[in-house]
Amino acid sequence: MINEKQKRIIEFIRNRIDAWENTNDISSPTHICEIEALEIGLTDVLREIELLELDDIIQEMYFFIRGCCQ
């Protein structure tokens, strides 16, 4: 059974991936700012260390996707 915290993290990741998929400029630096800004919405469910880890994971995914096929 998935808990509420897990659901919120999945929703956050899904929203970021959807935004990247629908962007007209995957290389825009605003995508990094949006990752950090949206984490604010998770401060009520994640500890600081978890937010930092999530930030690293999402940024790594973003840079991997951005770097593909260039």
Delimit the domains of the chain by residue range: 4-18+27-67
Identify the pLDDT of residue 34: 80
Q: How far apart are CA 49 and CA 47, in angstroms?
A: 6
CA distance 30 to 51: 19
Look at the chain and count its residues: 70
Q: Which has more pLDDT, 14 or 28? A: 14
pTM of the model: 0.81
Beta-strand ranges (E) seen in 1-70 are none
Are the C-beta atoms of residues 26 and 66 closer than 8 Å to each other?
yes
What is the average pLDDT across 25-29?
A: 85
> Residue 7 corresponds to which amino acid?
K
Model confidence at 3: pLDDT above 70: yes
